[in-house]
A and B are shown apart, each in its own frame.
Chain A
Amino acid sequence: MAKKKASSKRGITRRDFVKIAGMAGASVVGAGVLGKAPAFAQERSLHFLLWKNFSPPADVEILRQGEEWSKQSKVKVKIEQINANDIPARSAAAIESKQGPDIIQFFHNWQNQYGDSLVDVTDICTALESKYGGYIPYAKADAMLNGKFNAVPHTIVPNIYVARKSYLKAAGTAQWPKTWEELRREGKKWKANGHPIGQTVGHTFGDAVDFTYPYLWSYGVTERDEKGRITINSKQTLEALKFFKALWDDAMDPAGAGWDDSANNRAFLAGSVAATNNAPSIYLTASNQVILDEKGEPLVNDILHVANPAGPAGIFHYHYSQQLAIPKYSKNADIAKEFIRWLMDKEQFTKYLRRGQAYQAAALKDYMKDAMWEMFPALKPYRDHLLEAQHVGWKGAADASAARVVQNYVLIDMLANVATGKMTPDESLKWAEGQLKTIYGT
């Protein structure tokens, strides 16, 4: 009794505690079993995940379009933007846990890794194809798996060379090099003047791929042939690697081995490099922020947009495609499809591309004739070289394994191994072949 009194003085007995805890637990369980979500939670909503664009006005426009469609459809649209390098992990977590965004923007052919987990959007794509002159072939290949579209081809981020006219002229370069050999010869002069070529071979989603794939293709190097056999172990690959080492040492900025996608933009705008393979973002930043060169003149007047040099097998480019996919777990697949149809309608899509200042091209061929290219004439070379590209994994299919080769930076690291002196060209070739065999399971 005395004990009980003492504990009562402290406020609560063990018995009281157990009773209270039991009641609290029962009420939580009861609410879960019997209760229903409140009515306001039943309002339909759409969650759209995409990247933070290198052209900020495009972000403003997509957010505006989300709000506009939201008002029209009475569906709440949540647009979430993250760093492109973080999209793969975010989408992987969503697909595996079967919850997350209703629409996900994928790059290259990333989504083909999750082919079975995505809604078939062939109906939307075939309608768009017939209405807007068909898709640019590699964008279509990147969005298809086993004869079906698992994502809607949306935009393409084109990549060609961006160069400083004055730096080239100062080194005595009269015209942009037509071959890699010429680029090495001229680049050597630029580097001697303190302005090398800036090129990343680091672990990053865009620029590293945009250079590596077309460079290797231009030497006749492919990871697989049409029948899916691994073809990397060839004398063309060895030649490409040996030449790349010479190009890197003679003409390129060694810092590029550690760069991400934004580093070459900064280096170019700061006057550290003479040329770099890039999307239109350098030009747009120089233009929008009115960046001045060393003489106090607008830097945009000193920028040249030119094609990739040719290798023994010709000129190649790589422009990465971006497509919109709807995961099968989405309970809003029907409205997600409606939203994508609306976004892809000419009225909205034209505004999106134009507000983006031609940073992205459309995956649909008709838009190559759009007046946008006249609004930004300096960027027309991007349009002119838009069709000179292939899909990832070419000459094989743009399948899940081809996506994994990109995601694991296999071909990029094959170049980085020789650039950094970590491996000889022979060793790097064997290393890459081993990686490809593991990924392709052969």
Chain B
Amino acid sequence: MLERPNVLGYLLMMPAGFIILFFIAYPFGWGVWMSLTNKQIGMAWSQVKFVGLGNYVDLVTKDAIFRGTVWNSFAYTGVATLVKWALGMWLAVLLNRMVRLQRIVRAAVLLPWIVPTVLSTIAFLWIFDPDFSVINWTLRHFYSWMGWGYFRGPLWLANPTLALASVTFVNIWRGTPFFAISFLAGLQTISPELYEAAMIDGANGWQRFWHVTLPGIKPIMIVVLVFSVIVTFSDFQIVYVLTRGGPANSTHLFATYAYQVAMVGSRLGLGAAISLFMLPFLAVVIIFQLVYLRREKA
């Protein structure tokens, strides 16, 4: 029986199936259930009450931090993804043209993405320090050198707007190499003959980019964008290390606020509901990707 391809096929798929079932489907189902209860850490299940959509309603109607978190998450993801896309594309085009020191430069470009996030973010903790920051030190000396008097420099992590901008910047710094290298891989699949033909037809640089480069890397671009949106939207480490959601809750994202409410504040049910608020948006993004990929295949 095992010699029959369909039986063996299912058998070989079983380990992966079990992994998906136990490590993805089961925790997800458990999370959904928990979000419908008043479960707290340490609370016996016999005491746990089903509250229906109560947690979700409370978050939307009563929790101002949550409403701020929704705004922060969309602003963070939107700005970071757009800038990473633009910078990644620019970097990829440059790298594609580079002839000398190609390998070394490509390896160097990948560094921010390779270094563990927590480690590089701790470095940014120093870079954004109001008094000991290298940026503020440079600005202070520049002001003094220009004879403009004393300038302390921006309070990167103490001002609510700047703090959100700072955590977004770190995400851009870290994520751009992924865009660049992926786009570079896409660029290298485009035949040089297409560019030659476009040039013969009189296309300028922008037209060549718009009509040859962009369509050529569109499939890979969609995959990279979708992947980046998912990862950025559910980001945790950068905000946790730099601000812990502060100052005055100005930098909380879904993941950091869920962590604060569930793991630190022990309200697991409410924390699960915060996390699951990410689901509809991420589902839309994933469905968009699947539909696109299916259409491309067809």
**Which residues of A does B touch, CB under 8 Å?**
14-15, 18, 85, 88-89, 92-93, 95-96, 113-117, 194, 201-204, 253-260, 263, 266-267, 270, 272, 400, 404, 407-409, 413, 416-417, 419-420, 422-423, 431, 434-435, 437-439
Who on chain A is nearest to B152 by CB?
A255
Highest count of chain B CB atoms <10 Å: which of A18, A113, A115: A113
Tell me the complex Cα distance, A116–B129, Å: 42
**B94 on interface, CB distance cutoff 8 Å:** no
Nearest 4 CB-CB pairs, A to B? A258-B157, A258-B158, A117-B42, A114-B42
Q: Which residues of A contact B104 (CB under 8 A)?
A: none
Minimum CB–CB distance for A80 against chain B, Å: 18
From B77-85, B214-222, B263-271, B278-286, the one touching the partner chain is: B263-271
Quick check: A14 and B2 within 8 Å, CB to CB?
yes
Instruction: Please encode chain B, from 157 to 181, with 1 for each CB lying within 8 Å of some chain A CB and 0 for all others.
Output: 1111001000000000000000000
Is B11 interfacial (CB 8 A cutoff)? yes
Question: Which residues of the other chain, A, contact B132 by a CB distance below 8 angstroms?
Answer: 266, 270
Q: How many B residues face the partner with a CB closer than 8 A?
A: 44
Interface residues of B in 240-274 (CB under 8 A from A): 243-250, 259-268
**How far is it, in angstroms, between the C-alpha of A416 and the C-alpha of B159 when the chains are bound?**
10
CA A194 – CA B150 in complex, angstroms? 10
Question: B298 at interface (Cβ–Cβ under 8 A)?
Answer: no
Say whether A258 contacts B8, CB under 8 Å: no
Please name the residue on chain A nearest to B156 by beta carbon.
A258
SS class of chain B's interface: helix, strand, loop or mixed? loop
- B65 touches A (CB below 8 Å): yes
Q: Is the CB of A15 within 8 A of B3?
A: yes
Contacts of A18 in B (CB 8 A): 2, 8, 11
Q: How far is the CA of A116 from the CA of B43 in the complex (A)?
A: 7
Q: Chain A residues near B160 (CB, 8 Å)?
A: 420, 422
Cβ of B8: which chain A residues have Cβ within 8 Å of it? 14, 18
A255, B156: Cα distance in complex, Å: 9
Distance between Cα atoms of A255 and B244 in the complex (Å): 15
Residues of A within 8 A of B157 (CB): 258
B129 contacts across to A, CB distance below 8 A: 263
Residues of A within 8 A of B123 (CB): none
Complex Cα distance A113/B266, Å? Answer: 7
Beta-carbon nearest neighbor of A18 in chain B: B2
CB pair A203 B243 closer than 8 Å: yes
Q: Which residues of A contact B156 (CB under 8 A)?
A: 258
Listed by A's residue number, 13 A-B pairs whose Cβ atoms lie within 8 Å are A15-B3, A89-B263, A92-B41, A115-B42, A203-B243, A203-B247, A254-B159, A266-B132, A400-B40, A416-B247, A435-B64, A435-B65, A438-B58
**Contact yes or no, B2 A88, CB < 8 A:** no
> A409 CA to B246 CA in the complex, in Å?
10
Q: Mark B124-142, 1 if CB is under 8 A from A, else 0.
A: 0000011110000000000
Q: Are A422 and B263 neighbours in the complex by a CB distance under 8 Å?
A: no
Are A96 and B42 also in contact (CB < 8 A) when A18-B2, A201-B247 are?
Answer: yes
Contact between chains at A420 and B247 (CB < 8 Å): yes
CB contact between A202 and one of B64, B246, B262, B267 (< 8 Å): that residue: B246
A407 to B131 CA separation, bound complex (whole angstroms): 28
Contact between A420 and B159, CB atoms less than 8 A apart: yes
Which residues of B sit under 8 angstroms from A115, Cβ to Cβ? 42
Kindly list chain A residues whose C-beta atoms are within 8 Å of the C-beta of B119: none
* Cβ 8 A contact of B155, one of A257, A266, A408: A257
A194, B152: Cα distance in complex, Å: 10
Distance in angstroms from A201 CB to nearest chain B CB is 7
Contact of A113 among B3, B40, B150, B248 (CB under 8 A): B40
Within the complex, the shortest CB–CB distance from B236 to chain A, in Å, comes to 12
Q: Does B297 contact A (CB under 8 A)?
A: no
Assuming A14-B3, A270-B131, what are 19 further A-B pairs, CB within 8 angstroms? A14-B2, A18-B11, A88-B263, A92-B266, A203-B243, A254-B159, A259-B158, A266-B131, A404-B265, A407-B266, A408-B265, A413-B246, A416-B248, A420-B159, A420-B247, A420-B248, A422-B160, A422-B250, A434-B64
**B63: interface (CB < 8 Å):** yes
Residue contact A254 to B155, C-beta cutoff 8 Å: yes
**Closest Cβ neighbor of A270 among chain B residues:** B131
Q: Check A407–B155 contact: CB distance below 8 A.
A: no
Which residues of the other chain, B, contact A419 by a CB distance below 8 angstroms?
247-248
Check B263 against A420 for contact (C-beta < 8 Å): no
- Asked if B158 contacts A420 (CB within 8 A), the reply is yes
Q: Are B247 and A257 in contact (CB under 8 A)?
A: yes
Q: Which residues of A contact B243 (CB under 8 A)?
A: 202-203, 258
Please tell me if the beta carbons of A202 and B41 are within 8 angstroms of each other in the complex: no
Given A14-B2, A435-B65, A258 and B246 contact (CB-CB distance below 8 Å): yes
Q: Is the CB of A413 within 8 A of B249?
A: yes
Q: How far is the CB of B37 from chain A (nearest CB, A)?
A: 14
A419 to B158, CA, bound (A): 10
Chain A nearest Cβ from B113, distance in angstroms: 25
- Closest A residue to B262 by beta carbon equals A92
By CB atoms of chain B within 10 A, which of A194, A258, A263, A267 has the most?
Answer: A258
A114-B41, A202-B244, A404-B266 given; A258·B155 CB < 8 A: yes
Report B88-145 residues with CB < 8 Å from chain A CB.
129-132
Is there contact, CB below 8 Å, between B64 and A255? no
Q: Give complex CA distance A266, B156 in Å.
A: 17
Assess the B158–A257 pair: CB atoms within 8 A. yes
Give A96's nearest chain B residue, CB to CB: B41
* Cα distance A266–B126 in the bound complex, in angstroms: 12
How near does chain B come to A89, taking the closest CB pair, in angstroms?
4
Query: Residues of B contacting A416 with CB < 8 Å?
Result: 246-248
User: Is there contact, CB below 8 Å, between B43 and A203?
Assistant: no
Contacts of B246 in A (CB 8 A): 202-203, 257-258, 409, 413, 416
Q: How many angstroms between the C-alpha atoms of A320 and B158 in the bound complex?
A: 25
List of A residues within 8 angstroms of B130 by Cβ: 253, 255, 258
Chain B residues near A260: list those with CB within 8 A.
244
Decide if B44 is an interface residue (CB 8 Å cutoff).
Answer: yes
Residues of A within 8 A of B2 (CB): 14-15, 18
Within 8 A of A (CB), among B205-234: none
CA distance A160 to B58 in the complex (A): 39
With a cutoff of 8 Å between Cβ atoms, the chain A residues found around residue B295 in the complex are: none
- Whether B62 is near chain A, meaning CB under 8 Å from some CB there, is yes
